A and B are shown apart, each in its own frame.
Chain A
Amino acid sequence: MENNNSKERYIALEKDFIYRFQDNTLFLSRSLLLPQTIWFTKKIPKELKSFKVKNIILNLDELQDIDSAGVMALFHLKDKLRKSGISARIEGGSQSILEKIELFSPGQLPYHETPLKPGFLERTGNAVSHFFTDFVFGFITLAADVFYWSVSDIFRSRSRRKGEIANQAVLIGVNASLIVIFLSFVIGLVIALQSSGQLRTFGANIYIVDLTVIAMMSQMGPLITAILVAGRSGSSIAAEIATMKVTAELNALKTMGLNPIRFVVVPKLYACLITMPFLIIFANVSGILGGGVAAYIYLDITPEIFINRMGTVMQNKDLITGFVKSQVYASLIVLTGSFFGFRVVRGAEGVGKVTTTAVVVAISLVILADSILGLLFY
């Protein structure tokens, strides 16, 4: 076997790039830079193993240049050969090559041990515990803080930021009014339109008024408004607070002795609590108007008949229900937006994530609250 190895053999790395192998020694030549490293790691170990020798010397005397990838490829090769039972050592090389090997030598790398993956039960347990400790408890704590500051702020009007509530009311409420009015009108129209065929079959045309008014006042009006506000303002609240946290503005507020909840969240809550009932009224009126238009076109119910019938259908209870719902939804939207905004981690990417989560959770909570309140006020 040894005699076999005294004869010259060649390994072609790529075209015009050939390494010589003689007397158990691989003579590396020209340069071992990133482009050559790719071929080097693919071909050399395979070829050397095929030579069936136990000891190999990697001679660098003819090597002219090497970079960090090349150095690592050399050590990688040694390691690979060792695993196949072949011992390899490096020898020779110019001063500059040796300096680079020293600089890029991997040494004893403290390899990070991949932690054991937790099992299904452990993961489920962790998720449940995380949900209650982080989310539920955190949300309740924030709600308590916001409640405390929003109540105590009523009596400290002097230190309140001038014009901030009006500013937020415009952003959250006034700017949302057109879209709320338009969509409620369309939904009122569609509800009446879809029902008209069925009602006509039974000759119960007049009940289109009852249907539209009850549907809009007790369910659809508040719900559509809340979903739109959650999408529009819930996301903007989360993004604003998250950005403030990422850019250390919240820390700046704290170190100036200002409470971020009082300074940032409370004005938004006031604004939302104030504007939400109006938005719901707009939604109810335009939804009923939409129903009225459909009733007139498809069931020949004139506006006079519609209005007269409305008077008998409408109840004070619906107004109160709408108001209570507006306050619950407003609180849920602002709290959810703020909660996720404060939870942001990892910069720009985190802001996007918490914004999405805030909207999804706010809409889910609104629908959940709607069902609970629907049962309570049934």
Chain B
Amino acid sequence: MSKEKVIEVKGLGASYDELVVLSDVNFSAYKGDITVVLGASGSGKSTVLNHLLGLYPVNKGFVSILGKDISNITEKEQLSLYLQMGVFYQSGALLNSMTVGENVALPLKQHSNLPDSLVEEIVYMKLGLVNMQHAYHYFPSELSGGMLKRAALARAIVMDPPLLFCDEPGAGLDPISLASLDELIINLQKKLGISVLMVTHEVTSIMRIADRIVYLENGVVAFEGSLKNALESNVESVKHFFSVIDEADRFK
């Protein structure tokens, strides 16, 4: 039986004035999978992500998230869709005027009527999942880059979303923190059945966590398939991307 599609993109196009960034993007992400979107700088990864997140309007093509066509969506529907999505931004994007605990509690407090004591316990637990309980009362400006990312991940998963978007989560992390972050994402995927769409360049991370690969090149999808197929792909750019691993092996 084929898996349920959580994201479906058909013929997505986008341009900034004269510059065409996406010409015809087609791909799907499936329930329970970790789908990694790859591509060189300027290939349109961020533009695709911003369309999926509803930050850019879909003017050309069709985009469906969790079965909802977002090219034709009301504000109310978009809001209810946001409650089912967690977004993990590259910079963390925590609100600087609030402590880490308040940042993580924000979606829960705004979208539920749970008593404060229970919200606090949930926030502690979620921070515990990312080993950040000690930073509950810290402000984002007092955290290191890696800590910021972990706190941002805690905020992204605080509502137990079925779909998690990650924008370059590994950027700026040391290999050990990156490995523990990957492990955490795999844990969430396996135990909670969360589907993940991730934009990343970290080859080691991709090898560890990716189920499916979507390779963007010049505004179109040059490759879409499983990680195994990607490693054996004949597409020149994909081959070149993964050749980095072979080069690294040579130094061993």
Of B3-11, B134-142, B201-209, B240-248, the segment with at least 4 beta carbons within 8 Å of chain A is B134-142
Does B125 lie within 8 Å of A72, measured CB to CB?
yes
Interface string of A92-104 (1 = CB under 8 A from B): 0000000110011
Q: How far is the CA of A34 from the CA of B139 in the complex (A)?
A: 27
Residue in A104, A109, A350 whose CB lies within 8 Å of B133: A109
Does A69 lie within 8 Å of B114, measured CB to CB?
yes
* Set of chain A residues within 8 Å of B134, measured between Cβ atoms: 110
Interface string of A67-99 (1 = CB under 8 A from B): 111011101100000000000000000000001
Q: How many residues of B contact A (CB 8 A)?
A: 29
Does A109 lie within 8 Å of B191, measured CB to CB?
no
* Set of chain B residues within 8 Å of A72, measured between Cβ atoms: 118, 121-122, 125
* Set of chain B residues within 8 Å of A112, measured between Cβ atoms: 136-137
Q: How far is the CA of A105 from the CA of B125 in the complex (A)?
A: 7
Nearest CB on A from B84, distance (A): 11
Interface of A is mostly: helix
Residue in B112, B115, B137 whose CB lies within 8 Å of A34: B112
Does B96 lie within 8 Å of A350, measured CB to CB?
yes
Q: B2 in the interface, Cβ–Cβ < 8 Å?
A: no
Q: B159 in the interface, Cβ–Cβ < 8 Å?
A: yes
* Set of chain B residues within 8 Å of A111, measured between Cβ atoms: 124
Residue in A38, A103, A106 whose CB lies within 8 Å of B191: A103
Q: B160 in the interface, Cβ–Cβ < 8 Å?
A: yes
Name A40-83 residues within 8 Å CB distance of B. Answer: 41, 67-69, 71-73, 75-76
Q: How far is the CA of A5 from the CA of B133 in the complex (A)?
A: 41
* Set of chain B residues within 8 Å of A350, measured between Cβ atoms: 96, 141
Q: B192 in the interface, Cβ–Cβ < 8 Å?
A: yes
Does A345 lie within 8 Å of B117, measured CB to CB?
no
Does B97 lie within 8 Å of A346, measured CB to CB?
yes
Residue in B97, B136, B187, B191 whose CB lies within 8 Å of A349: B97
Q: A37 in the interface, Cβ–Cβ < 8 Å?
A: yes
Does A38 lie within 8 Å of B113, measured CB to CB?
yes
Q: How far is the CA of A76 from the CA of B123 in the complex (A)?
A: 13
Does B117 lie within 8 Å of A68, measured CB to CB?
no
Which A residue's beta carbon lies closest to that of B139?
Answer: A346
* Set of chain B residues within 8 Å of A203, measured between Cβ atoms: none
Best-buried of A37, A105, A350 by chain B (most CB within 10 Å) = A37
Nearest CB on B from A82, distance (A): 14
Interface string of A337-378 (1 = CB under 8 A from B): 000000001111110000000000000000000000000000
Does B121 lie within 8 Å of A110, measured CB to CB?
no
Q: B42 in the interface, Cβ–Cβ < 8 Å?
A: no
Name B3-57 residues within 8 Å CB distance of A. Answer: none
Residue in B96, B124, B133 whose CB lies within 8 Å of A346: B96
Q: How far is the CA of A348 from the CA of B95 in the complex (A)?
A: 10
Q: How far is the CA of A68 from the CA of B160 in the complex (A)?
A: 7
Does A106 lie within 8 Å of B125, measured CB to CB?
yes
* Set of chain A residues within 8 Å of B158, measured between Cβ atoms: 68
Contacts A34-B160, A41-B118, A76-B117 given; does A104 touch B137 at CB 8 Å: no
Q: B126 in the interface, Cβ–Cβ < 8 Å?
A: yes
Residue in A41, A73, A109, A348 whose CB lies within 8 Å of B124: A109
Does B126 lie within 8 Å of A107, measured CB to CB?
no
Best-buried of B125, B140, B187 by chain A (most CB within 10 Å) = B125
Extra A-B contacts (18), CB below 8 Å, given A68-B158, A72-B118, A72-B122: A34-B112, A34-B114, A37-B114, A37-B118, A38-B114, A67-B192, A68-B160, A69-B108, A76-B117, A103-B191, A104-B125, A109-B121, A345-B141, A346-B97, A346-B141, A347-B141, A349-B97, A350-B141
State the A residues within 8 Å of B (CB): 33-34, 37-38, 41, 67-69, 71-73, 75-76, 99-100, 103-107, 109-112, 345-350
Q: Which 4 A-B pairs have the closest CB atoms?
A: A67-B160, A347-B96, A346-B141, A349-B97
Q: Report 25 cross-chain contacts, Cβ distance below 8 Å, ordered by A residue.
A: A34-B159, A34-B160, A37-B114, A38-B112, A38-B114, A41-B118, A67-B160, A68-B122, A68-B158, A69-B114, A69-B118, A69-B122, A72-B118, A72-B121, A72-B125, A103-B129, A106-B124, A109-B124, A109-B125, A110-B134, A112-B136, A112-B137, A345-B141, A346-B140, A349-B96
